[in-house]
Chain A
Amino acid sequence: MDVSISIFYYIYLVFVGFFLFFTFFNAYHLVRFGFLSLGNITVIIFYIVVTALILSISWGYISQIDWQQSFYVAPQFQFHNINGL
Chain B
Amino acid sequence: MMIKFFIPHRLEGEKIIMLTRRDPFIMLTRIASWVVVGILPLLFYWLLGDTLQSIFGGVTYQPILVLFTSLFYLYIWLFAFVSYVNYYLDVWIITNQRIIDMEQRGLFARIVSEQRLDKIQDITAESKGFFPTVLNYGEVYAQTAGEKERFVFKQVPEPYTIAKKLGDVVHDYKKAHLYTDNLRK
Contacts and interface: CB of A to CB of B under 8 A. Distances in A.
Contacts, number: 89
A50 B77 CA distance: 8
Contact of A19 (B69, B78, B110): B78
Interface in B63-119: 63-64, 66-67, 69-71, 73-75, 77-78, 81-82, 84-85, 88-89, 102, 104, 107-108, 110
Q: What's the dominant secondary structure at chain A's contact region?
A: helix
A interface bracket (residues with beta carbon within 8 Å of B): 35 or more
Contacts of A40: 88
A29 B104 contact: yes
Given A9-B67, A57-B70, A62-B66, 20 more contacts: A5-B60, A8-B60, A8-B67, A16-B71, A19-B71, A19-B78, A22-B107, A25-B107, A26-B78, A26-B81, A32-B6, A33-B104, A33-B110, A34-B88, A43-B84, A47-B81, A54-B74, A58-B70, A61-B66, A62-B70
